[in-house]
Amino acid sequence: MKSVQKIIVPLQSHFRSPLRRSSSIAQTTAFPQTDGNVKTFSELPGPTGIHDIPYLGMALHFKPFTKYEILDDFVEVMTSFREKYGDIFKVRAGNKHVIHVCHPDIADQIYKLPYKENHRHFPGMIEAFYKYNDIPRALSMRSGKDWAKLRTPSNEHLLKPKAMANFTPLIERVANDFIEKLKKELQMNDAVREISKYAYECVGIASFNKRYGCLNDSSQDEMLDLLNTILKTLQTAFLMPFDINRYYKTKTYREFEQTFLHLQEFLKKNMEEQILRLNTMRDDGTLKDYLQNEYNFLYAMLSGGKLPPEEIVTLISDLHTGAVEGLGNGITFVLCDLALNPDKQETLYEEITQIVGDKSVIGIDALQKMSYLQACIKESQRITYPFTGMLRIPESDVTIAGYRIPKGTNININHKMMSLDGRFFPQPTKFLPERWTRDGNTDVIDKGYTNFPNVIVKPFGLGVRSCAGVRVAKPAMMLSVAKIIQNFEVSLPNGEKEIKTTRLLFPTPKVPVNLCLKPRQSSYSN
Ligand code: HEM
């Protein structure tokens, strides 16, 4: 790859912190203190007998042994365990146990443990893949120093508050094109698929300042299928009771390997093209002007000089795999919640028109003022939590909630269950964005809907290992939802009242969701 050593440092810009809410844990929900006697790991409650047999135990809770599907009903099964065993229990996963934590007080203790290595658990398929293929490991598949080596220099460009201001104008271009397309179509058949195309364009422009063109060109859909296959095979590998991919190239392994290598090649080619473009601008003297008008992430990473190009391409591949499914599903669920709650949709529309009227450029400052929009997104993520939980692995033996837990134990902080727990969120399935607004409304406050522990709903994770793409994800979510509601009344066809979910890595509607878009008058007046 060609070097871009002489390229000048990019422009700075500013961004205020997004909505933050502090709330104290309701006294009635505090985790009961233990009697002071520390219990052993084996005394931790959880399924026993045949359900505790290595490799087999977990599988026995699902089809064909029970009526439960592993993808659709995982949370239902875990909820039944919580009801039976309490807020902390262990279940068999492979030859080890995973501890599930379903109370914010215990979650808080685990998040506050010291972590140096920030380990993650990877299925054997990942270990086998990197044994057979001599390419740098993806960021999300690294631990320890190897992880920090890639994550620390990328944080400088991805996570500093100014990052959101840098990415927003680029993403807004994509969002405007998406709206123009929707104005012609006036519906979204298979909303996740349509919004995934938007997400893929967002990540293309954020990574390479390039438009892949998939909003208007179905031949580009191949890459969406490929990203989908990567996540599907990863999910299958995570859930397989026997870690067979570690030893044998199964169909799942082969599909993963083929698609993942294809993605790497595709991104490498794109990166080479973009480096050539930057070098051409440098040589013809237009680079400085260009960089004054447009943020360029690739340029920032390369000119920072802290990572070699092959590591940068690895990081960009993580941005692609994390983004498309997360955003495609996340945005779809927000729109569905607004469609199912027309009064909330109207309140959001009023906020948008008050702040930007029917202008087609929103921009970072206006976006930051849209507190109801942020609340709608957060409330939707609470109801359809993007992950089952966050994994933490203690790096020394610790005592948690009265139990001695050996170092290296996988602990799943089960945010999904906590965020739908009536002890913390009265009427937990009710879509109430007012839970998250500072002023709320008195009815919502009087009913106690707002008094919940802050640690529960953290859809982008917590701490150093949280979402590396959050400053891309947030404007992509906010701009698309704001612009869609600014231009259309969104509804579900035939009075549908519920969206059933299953999951890939992220939750996704069980059957494709169609959204009806009725133009608002103002969207045709400009
Ligand atoms: C609604 C959308 C999204 C949600 C809810 C989400 C959530 C998360 C969460 C919770 C994690 C931490 C996982 C852990 O602790 O192991 C994570 C990691 C990550 N996310 Fe996102 N994400 C979203 C979109 C994105 C986007 C758009 C990008 C890229 C532009 C992205 C890039 C990443 C990367 C690279 C990591 C791995 C970080 C690491 O291992 O150090 N995500 N995401």
Helices (H), 51-134: 56-59, 74-85, 104-111, 124-132
Identical fold for domains 34-121+388-431+443-457 and 135-366+459-525, yes or no, is no
Q: State in Å: Cα 201 to ligand 1 middle.
A: 17
Residues in the chain, how many?
526
User: Residues near 372 by Cβ (< 8 Å), separated by ≥ 6?
Assistant: 347, 348, 351, 433, 437
Residues 125, 253 contacting (CB under 8 angstroms): yes
Return binding residues for heme. 467
326 lines ligand 1 (CB under 6 A): yes
Q: State in Å: Cα 54 to ligand 1 middle.
A: 31
**DSSP type of residue 388:** S
318 lines ligand 1 (CB under 6 A): yes
More confident residue, 23 or 430: 430
Q: Which atom of ligand 1 is nearest to the CA of 203?
A: 30
Q: State in Å: Cα 278 to ligand 1 middle.
A: 28
pLDDT in tens, 60-103: 898 899 998 877 888 889 999 999 999 999 999 888 899 999 99
Residues 278, 8 contacting (CB under 8 angstroms): no
390 lines ligand 1 (CB under 6 A): yes
Confidence of residue 353 (pLDDT cuts 50, 70, 90): very high
For the segment 381-398, the average pLDDT, to the nearest whole number, is 94
User: Residues near 330 by Cβ (< 8 Å), separated by ≥ 6?
Assistant: 377, 380, 381, 386, 459, 473, 477, 506
322 lines ligand 1 (CB under 6 A): yes
Return binding residues. 467
Domain layout of the chain by residue ranges: 34-121+388-431+443-457, 135-366+459-525
Architecture of the CATH domain 34-121+388-431+443-457:
2-Layer Sandwich (3.30)
Q: State in Å: Cα 63 to ligand 1 middle.
A: 30
- Output phi, psi for 304, to 5 deg: -60, -25
**Residue 441 C-alpha from the chain's centroid:** 29
Mean per-residue pLDDT of the chain: 89
Confidence of residue 35 (pLDDT cuts 50, 70, 90): low
pLDDT in tens, 511-526: 999 999 999 976 544 4
Strand partners, 507: 503
pLDDT in tens, 415-425: 999 999 999 99
433 lines ligand 1 (CB under 6 A): no
Q: State in Å: Cα 130 to ligand 1 middle.
A: 21
Enter the pTM of the model: 0.91
Q: State in Å: Cα 84 to ligand 1 middle.
A: 32
pLDDT in tens, 113-155: 999 989 888 888 999 999 999 999 999 999 999 999 999 999 9
The residue among 486, 478, 204, 479 whose CA lies nearest residue 359 is 486
Given CATH 3.40.50.300, say whether it is the number of domain 135-366+459-525: no
ipTM of the complex: 0.98
Pocket test for ligand 1, best of 137, 467, 479, 506 (most atoms within 8 A of CB): 467
Task: Report how far residue 211's alpha carbon sits from residue 103's, in angstroms, rounded to the nearest whole number.
Answer: 44
Helices (H), 341-455: 342-356, 363-369, 371-383, 415-419, 442-446
pLDDT in tens, 447-464: 778 888 999 999 999 999
